[in-house]
Amino acid sequence: MTIENMPMVKAINAGLRAALAKDDRVLLMGEDIGTLGGVFRVTEGLKNEFGSNRVLDTPLAESAIVGTAIGLAMRGYRPVCEIQFDGFIYPAFDQITSQLAKMTSRHEGELPMPVVIRVPYGGHIGAVEHHQESNEAYFAHTAGLRLVSPSNPHDAYWMIQEAIESQDPVLFFEPKSRYWPKGDVNLSANDIPLHASRIARTGTDVTLIGHGAMVSVLLQAAEIAQEEGTSVEVVDLRSLSPVDYGPILDSVRKTGRAVVAQEAPQNVSLGSEIAATITERAFYSLEAPVVRVSGFDVPFPPAKLETIYLPDADRVLDAVDRVLSY
């Protein structure tokens, strides 16, 4: 067993390196990903190792990046595209939702689309407009796409490789604020499938559910709640589409209370869908309404206001108090 302690940015880099070495059909595409190594240095060193035919610097044209990837996938390649920041994905929206998502069904399953789109997303980095959005709901709503988001380096290392091996298009949402905190990565083995949720912390009184960077906030809230005598269970979604509801529903049936948290706005969101599904499928186990904690239904604010906009442990704990009050 080989275990290394590394930040998520290095874990994704290592996962991409492993995928490139394993399969000559894998290639990376994106703005400044080659010589520079990407703005977050996720692809640093890979161009020197695998060459400019495998790690391609592209023009600043997201629609062209994804459109080219679709063509490459049709020819048997397994392209991995990087969208430099979450808010830059919209020029490629038509290619992703009108073409990539529908291509396999359009050909009655005869044409797989093994395209991965890496999307650094979310707040907590003090960036400007279009650089801190959580826009996963647009794509989770689109049939034909798979969405995943790791919360820790171990998952990031394995999930990027599993996403690349998928025959379906996968949007790989990378929480920017979790790029640098370190964690142990087991480079030898992984026992969690790509689309499985996991119990990040066990508890008995309340279930907290989230993904990406929000998982660390939920774990922080759980620690504080424990000191105050409340036992909190934390579920890391990992997969946003499809959602693995088994561990979620098992946890809620045990605790009787649920809080769903996300950085994205609440209206018509992934958190809203999960809250509705819990209510439908575990109604008779609930001791209180499912409560949602989210960003506000406004455009992401200037950096000085992000701490007000983004959910923190205090807002999560307030929701815990609300579900315990019933």
Residue of 124, 131, 154, 211 marked catalytic: 131
- Is the distance from CB of 25 to CB of 80 less than 8 angstroms? no
Tokens representing residue 105 in the block: 């069904």
Does the annotation count 195 as an active-site position?
A: no
DSSP letter for each residue of 216-277: HHHHHHHHHHHHTT--EEEEE--EEES--HHHHHHHHHHHS-EEEEEEEESTT-HHHHHHHH
Q: Is 82 left (phi over 0), alpha (psi -120 to 50) or beta?
A: beta
Could you tell me the sign of the dihedral formed by the alpha carbons of 18, 181, 184, 158, in that order?
negative
Distances (CA, A) of 14 to 42, 153, 301: 9, 10, 34
Tokens representing residue 149 in the block: 């988001």
Q: From CA 112, how far away is CA 162, in angstroms rounded?
A: 15
Identity of the amino acid at 246: G
Q: From CA 1, how far away is CA 188, in angstroms rounded?
A: 5
Distances (CA, A) of 147 to 52, 105, 111, 207, 242: 28, 18, 20, 23, 7
Could you tell me the sign of the dihedral formed by the alpha carbons of 103, 109, 110, 114, in that order?
positive
| DSSP 3-state of 159 | helix
The β-bridge relationship of strands 232-236 and 198-201 is antiparallel
List the catalytic residues: 131
